[in-house]
Amino acid sequence: MHQRRKTRKLSVGHPPGPNVAVGGDAPISVQSMTTTKTADVEGTLAQIYALAAAGCDIVRCTCNEEEAAEGLAQIVPRSPIPIVADIHFQHQLALAAIEAGVHALRLNPGNIRKPEHIKVVAREAKDRGLPIRIGVNAGSLDPDIAKQFGGATPEALVASAMRELAYFAEVDFDDVKISVKASNVPLMIDAYRMLSETTDHPLHLGVTEAGPPPNGLVKSVAGIGTLLAEGIGDTIRLSLTADPVEEARAGRTLLEALGLRERKGLDLIACPSCGRAEIDVIRVAKEAQEALTDRNIPLQVAVMGCIVNGPGEAREADIGIAAGRGKGHLFVKGKVVRVVPESEMVAALVAEAERIVEEGFDAVLADADEGAEAQAAADRDELLQIQGTDVNSSAEKIAKIRDLTN
């Protein structure tokens, strides 16, 4: 991982209301966008609360008509996280959203093109202390810029952002973050690399129109993850054709996997399964995932298919279970604390994980079943006799290789 690129810091929202710092030394934040009609106040709020529970830090709502702006006036005071109004084509709706009390705006320079319109919005945002995201999109690039650069190239995307930034500078407004999104991953990566060398404004990362999972998820992670690993990016959105709660969870998981945010939810690891597996690992892992996800348990949980290699391979997990001979070996911090029937594996895993959250690791380890580790060792030895030597125990092979090569 590269050291994170230094950017300016801005605040989306202000105390005592919801507020999230973006840029500088602030944690990289997760964003999403509601899919409800913004005029549907209760439906939109329900989705916002679900997004917040899934790890979303900032949420964007469309403001595409007068009724949407009126809805925002009722949504903003009840939202647990900052609201960004998404504006296209009509600058008057940006002014209406500001009046509704939103915490920030997103403007698309590809469809709000008149400098006087851009500057009047910037002046009003400055007076109210609202940041604006310049949201460049390869699919809606200003035709003049596209013609100048021969299409939606990295240079064209960056030029669009910098032209908008120049309009803002004319009215002394610089509370800005920028995105240069594209559905083509290499184009998106190159554009953000170029932009990061051009400006120190905070950057919002995303692969636009990524599509439904799993392909959309792969594309988003490929683009966003590459840039984050290079130290580029201050806030992210995985734009999936899916329930926005799913994209918020995926964004949070990506940041946790890269060590850029403290683990807030479940991190379930599982072996890919092989001929040694004593259970249907895919089924059991899915059951465990479904049982634990909604509980917001901030643990790394392992589901392993056999007791020969499972506990060793997952020794760094907070808690896990490995199957063998019709039993499940439940381990905490590498120590076997219970041996349960195979049919009770997931239930035991969930119960013990909840105990860890409530009582702590020491209490659970102190309450381990007497003889659990001895029984686990006996089961493992018995299975080794049937399946053969542990595939991870390679000392004898190495010795023979050395004999042969010397």
Neighbouring-strand partners of residue 267:
300
Residue 393 has pLDDT above 80, yes or no: no
9-257 and 267-387 share one fold: no
Q: Report the pLDDT value the prediction gives residue 402, as an integer from 0 to 100.
A: 78
Distance of CA 108 to the CA centre of its chain: 24
Has residue 78 got a pLDDT over 90? yes
Q: What is the mean pLDDT of the chain?
A: 92
Residues, the chain, total? Answer: 406
Question: Which residues have CB under 8 Å from 323's CB, separation 6+?
Answer: 277, 278, 279, 284, 304, 305, 306, 307, 310, 329, 342, 345
pLDDT in tens, 189-221: 999 999 999 999 999 999 999 999 999 999 999
Tokens encoding 195: 């932009």
Output DSSP code: residue 109: T
Given this model, what pLDDT does residue 342 score? 87
User: Can you give the residue ranges of every domain in the chain?
Assistant: 9-257, 267-387
Please tell me the pTM assigned to this model. 0.86
Would you state the pLDDT for residue 126? 98
Average pLDDT over residues 374-390: 73
Which CATH code of 2.40.50.100, 1.10.3720.10, 3.40.50.1220, 3.20.20.20 fits the domain covering 9-257? 3.20.20.20
CB-based contact 32:251 (threshold 8 Å)? yes
Q: Where are the beta strands (DSSP E) in 246-334?
A: 267-270, 300-304, 319-324, 327-332
Closest CA to 390 of 377, 403, 373, 406: 377
Share of the chain above pLDDT 70, in %: 95
Min mean pLDDT across 21-35, 90-104, 294-308, 388-402 is at 388-402
What pLDDT does 323 receive?
A: 84
pLDDT at 388: 56
Least confident stretch, 51-55, 73-77, 80-84, 228-232? 51-55
Q: How far is residue 202's CA from residue 392's CA, in Å, rounded to a whole number?
A: 46
Between the alpha carbon of residue 162 and those of residues 106, 175, 198, the distances in Å are 15, 14, 9
Closest CA relative to residue 224, chosen from 212, 214, 234: 234
Give 100 or 395, the one with higher predicted confidence: 100
Return the CATH class of domain 267-387: alpha beta
Quick: pLDDT tens for 345-361.
999 999 999 999 999 99
2-22 mean pLDDT: 96
Q: What is the pLDDT of residue 185?
A: 98
pLDDT of 305 strictly over 90: no
The gap from C-alpha 375 to its chain's centroid, in whole angstroms, comes to 40
Three-state secondary structure string covering 304-317: ECCCCCHHHHCCCC
pLDDT tens profile 262-288: 988 789 988 887 766 767 888 888 999
Task: For 174-218, give the DSSP string.
Answer: --EEEEEEBSSHHHHHHHHHHHHTT--S-BEE-BTT-BSTTHHHH
